[in-house]
Chain A
Amino acid sequence: MKEQVINFQLNDEPVNVYSDPSLSLLKLLRNRFNLLGTKEGCGRGDCGVCTVLLDGRAVNSCLIPAGKVQGRNVCTIEGISSKSTAKAARFHPIQQAFVEKGAVQCGFCTPGMIMSAFALLQENPSPSKEEVREAISGNLCRCSGYKQIEEAVLEAAKVMICQKEHPGFK
């Protein structure tokens, strides 16, 4: 397809890129913006490792044509950590909980899994176990059996509520 300029918000910054609009958002992120945190596992929406947020909703970026993000807001795993260099401040509570609860094994599903968890907790700040499982059911993980991921998301939910109620709480 003929290349065109695509303008969108990427991790809270305005960007524009000249691209074939039929290229997948995944390829755009990885090959044009060098954002390698979003992984590719199947290229057809079966595995969820390429999950990013499009206007706050978790989507498989391999299925979104680049042209569709014109004027919209894309957030990747790189966008949910703060830019601070102090470890404690740098990581989002979901990332923190994933590490502490043993939810990260090979780590290949982790970015996509964290993005799905992020979208869930924006919508539903205190989900049940079942709601967590449902929210990550499009994200395959071959290492963990999902148990420690479920535990991590529930833990992150608690921390995030606490942080909201007590700003400055770490």
Chain B
Amino acid sequence: MPIDKEKGFDAKNNSSGATVNQGPDVWAKAAGRALYGIDLQLPGMLYGKILRSPHPHARIKAIDTAEADALPGVRAVLTASDIKKKRYGIVVQDELPLAYDRVRYIGDEVAAVAAVDEKSASRALEALNVEYEPLSAVFEPKAALAQGAVQIHDQFPGNIAWQRELERGNPDRAFKEADLVVENSFSIPSVHPTYLEPIACVASSDYPGNLTIHTALQSPDIVRDIIAGALELPFSKVRIVGPVMGGGFGGRVYGNLKLYLLSSLLSQFTGLPVKMQLSREEEFCIGRPMIAAELKIKMALRSDGTFLARESEIVTDNGAYSAQAPWVSKTLSERNDSVYRIPNIRTRACLVYTNKVPTAQYRAYGNQAANFACESLIDQAAEKLGLDPLQIRLNNCTQAGDTTVHGLKIKSCALKDCLKEAAAKIGWSNRNKNCGYGISAGIHASGSLVANKDFRGASARAVLELDGRVTLFSGEQDYGQGTYGAFTNIAAGVLELDPDLFSLNCRDSLITPYSQGALANRQTTIGGRAVQLAAADLKKLIEEAASEMAGEPVRMEKGRLKSNDGSIMELAAVAVYYHNRTSGLTLTGEGSYVPPPVEYDETSYGNISVTYSFAAHAAEVEVDRETGAFTIKRIASVHDSGRIINPLAARGQVYGGVAQGVGFSCYEGYLFDRGRVVSKTLADYRIPTALDVPHIACCFIETTDPEGPLGVKGLGEVVQVPVPGALANAVADAAGVRVTELPITAEKIYRAISKGECAR
């Protein structure tokens, strides 16, 4: 039963009706008092800047730092010869803090300076003299894969950063027995998360060698591990403290490791705090967009529309260094296979080094890129078979109880209802002849377990303060998605206390439990479960201490401590009693949620996540066939994210995620000129404005998932997944031709129409 919820989740009664806590810093943000990375200043702070390579590929013959070193106000000039040659990386170890003997893209870090102010730092950069010997460069994956192509990294022959071949079932037989085979090729450019606050950090190394980095990260603890490893510091000497984060969208899971490392090194060299900050241009030119992808897909179907097999050949463009690109390529190459029941799969995927900006990840992790291709091809098949695009999806979609072709165990799934509701909301059965309609479906892991199979879950602490309030400690990160509000509501629900009594500590790695952070749609599902367990543990401890204090059994009911005779004790009194009895301890509930082990074989068959979220989107567009100009009129966005516990924030995730999906589908995409980023301003790399986002109808179909706390599943990433597919199909329906290259623009539609191409 679809529910359009306006009202909140009642923490006290576990039912709808209460207002929802929006997190601790929302008022500070509205007042202009919230401090972000760019706002930070520490006493004695220096400013760091980076000298970058002007060549896409070159040998560094010499660097002369003498002139820069001698300038007034300059406190440190670092080149590779000043630091250890120790490679680091997230999946593969292919980066150094500064280029050693070769630069591999325009923007590669060559030297770093620290000075008393920005002007002096800029002057120092100008005074550095670097002698380069240009090398031949490759800019396209195809060229990089060709025999005899220049090798970008000696340790990765053939310029292959990562590859995989995968076969499930018997695709050859399925293609032989099929009534229909459809195929097409699709291309998706690199896109930038475009968080509005450029990344900034202040690193501060003190004399005993403790390093504190002030920067906002989605996964601060994981970054702490990488920094400690790269700088060969003991983990316990590295601390990350988070200011408020000006948007993340996957781009700040690891943020900009190079910036953190270089500011740390400069701070170690000078003994003073060093602030570094990317400009918007640097964000685009060196700031880690998501991989570009070329997909060639083939599908086999029976004449009744049953999906038999899918074969994909995928090449992704890694750029010069790898970061998370192998993992993104992996998700891109397989997640869409689990949206529908497709018994036979063959996939070849290859991630290729080129002399371009290094890549990383973005919200939805490539899943949305492949969705564009897979869902476009489904509509091509439906048309050939004379089937309704909605019906063919309903007939094939994954359902609760399924184990998908890659071994994902689907414990809860309302995808069928999501599809029906999305169609109903857009008026599928009563479509306007002058418009085009498209529908698309997506799945996304909620609480992925494979990033670290040994550390799958989360932990949290709930402390009863001496004043009777409760402080939660969690390493999960909220940058506006509503996580903290959700955690407060979950804990308040367990203890049956007013959410206003709760505070949260989440942004200091010194005091919060280690966490994987905001990735893989895991925070509310996994982190929330830990909070729930910590609150339950605290409740038990409070009851024990209160019983001891009263000398008789005391129960905590409806947030109040009652003994058998009905007398009531104050929470603060119990807290103080325990504090005095133990000379200073506080009642501290601990929660540790450890999801079941991952059974995951070498072909990566297995249940990779705690649970899975589903979404179906339907779009209505109007296309002017004379010019190709098009208008997105409406998008219906229907979700199975389990139980919705923070409806205001959930709607915010849907509107924002769909808007980003519209950007991904119709506006965004890197442009290069021989390895140089051309789209390097927000005027050239357009993200949707208030006038570009269409009307979005948002709806939640609630399921109760057995794994998440209170049955919740993730929402923030899955929301973007079906947008490109729905829009591409709607445009094809309206224009009569299919655009297979993102972003979909009026020009591409016009060209396709005038070519008379009817590939749909």
Contacts and interface: CB of A to CB of B under 8 A. Distances in A.
Answer whether A and B are interacting partners. Answer: yes
Interface of A: 36-44, 46-47, 49, 76-78, 81, 87, 90-91, 95-96, 98-99, 101-102, 104-111, 114, 132-134, 136-150
A142 B691 contact: no
Given A102-B648, A133-B690, A134-B691, A142 B656 contact: yes
B79 to A, nearest CB: 28
B689 A143 contact: no
A142 B246 CA distance: 10
Given A108-B247, A142-B687, A44 B681 contact: yes
B690 A146 contact: yes
Interface in B29-57: 29-36, 38-39
Given A39-B38, A148-B648, 15 more contacts: A36-B35, A42-B280, A49-B196, A102-B652, A105-B479, A107-B244, A110-B30, A142-B196, A142-B656, A142-B660, A143-B247, A144-B659, A145-B659, A146-B659, A146-B689
6 contacts: A42-B681, A77-B31, A78-B32, A90-B31, A143-B480, A146-B690
A44 B198 CA distance: 14
B38 to A, nearest CB: 6
A99 B279 CA distance: 29
Contacts of B651: 102, 147-148
A134 B691 CA distance: 7
Residue from A37, A106, A138 having most chain B Cβ neighbours under 10 A: A106
A147 B696 contact: yes
Given A104-B30, A110-B29, A134-B691, A143 B656 contact: yes
A49 B38 CA distance: 13
Contacts of A141: 196, 656, 690
A101 B481 CA distance: 14
Contacts of A90: 31
Residue from B22, B32, B683 having most chain A Cβ neighbours under 10 A: B32
Nearest to A78: B32
A145 B696 contact: yes
Interface residues of B, number: 53
Nearest to B277: A40
Contacts of A146: 655, 659, 689-690, 693
B690 A98 contact: no
A41 B195 CA distance: 9
Contacts of B380: none
Contact of B652 (A76, A140, A144): A144
Contacts of A142: 193-196, 247, 249, 656, 660, 687
Contacts of B245: 106
Contacts of B25: 107
Nearest to A148: B652
Contacts of A143: 247, 480, 652, 656
Nearest to B40: A36
A44 B648 CA distance: 33
A44 B279 CA distance: 11
Interface in B651-704: 651-652, 654-660, 681-683, 687-691, 693, 696
A160 to B, nearest CB: 16
Nearest to A152: B30
Contacts of A132: 690
A101 B6 CA distance: 11
Contact of A39 (B246, B249, B648, B689): B246
A137 B656 contact: no
A90 B33 CA distance: 13
A108 B197 contact: yes
Contacts of B248: 106
B30 A148 contact: no
A111 B658 contact: no
Contacts of B280: 41-44, 46-47
Interface in B91-139: none
Contacts of A98: 30
Contact of A107 (B34, B656, B690): B34
A91 B244 contact: no
Nearest to B663: A142
Contacts of B198: 41
B687 A106 contact: no
Contacts of B654: 145
A106 B246 contact: yes
A37 B655 contact: no
B720 to A, nearest CB: 11
A105 B656 contact: yes
A46 B682 contact: yes
A104 B480 contact: yes
A77 B367 CA distance: 39
Contacts of B656: 105, 141-145
Interface in B449-497: 479-481
A109 B247 CA distance: 10
B689 A107 contact: no
Nearest to B193: A142
A102 B649 contact: yes
B217 to A, nearest CB: 13
Contacts of B32: 36-38, 76-78, 110-111
B194 A150 contact: no
B149 interface: no
A91 B32 CA distance: 11
Contact of A144 (B244, B655, B689): B655
B27 interface: yes
A98 B32 CA distance: 12
A142 B27 CA distance: 19
Given A37-B31, A37-B32, A143-B247, A105 B481 contact: yes
Q: Which 3 A-B pairs have the closest CB atoms?
A: A37-B32, A107-B29, A105-B480
B652 A105 contact: yes
B27 A106 contact: no
B26 interface: yes
A38 B687 CA distance: 21
A148 B28 CA distance: 18
B631 to A, nearest CB: 14
A139 B690 contact: yes
Contacts of A114: 30
A104 B478 CA distance: 12
Contacts of A137: 689-691
A7 B141 CA distance: 58
Contacts of B655: 144-148
Interface string B523-544: 0000000000000000000000
A46 B687 CA distance: 11
A39 B197 contact: yes
A4 B244 CA distance: 35
Nearest to B698: A147
Nearest to A94: B30
A138 B682 CA distance: 11
Interface in B164-220: 193-198
A22 to B, nearest CB: 14
A107 B26 contact: yes
A144 B482 CA distance: 12
A28 to B, nearest CB: 15
A44 B36 CA distance: 20
A40 to B, nearest CB: 6
Nearest to A135: B690
A12 B86 CA distance: 55
Contacts of A47: 196, 280, 682
A167 B194 CA distance: 43
A96 B280 CA distance: 31
Nearest to A130: B691
A113 B648 CA distance: 19
Contacts of B660: 142, 145
A49 B248 CA distance: 16
Nearest to B657: A145
A105 B31 CA distance: 13
A99 B693 contact: no
Contact of A37 (B33, B648, B649, B690): B33
Contacts of B249: 142
A39 B36 CA distance: 9
Contact of B39 (A36, A133, A136, A150): A36
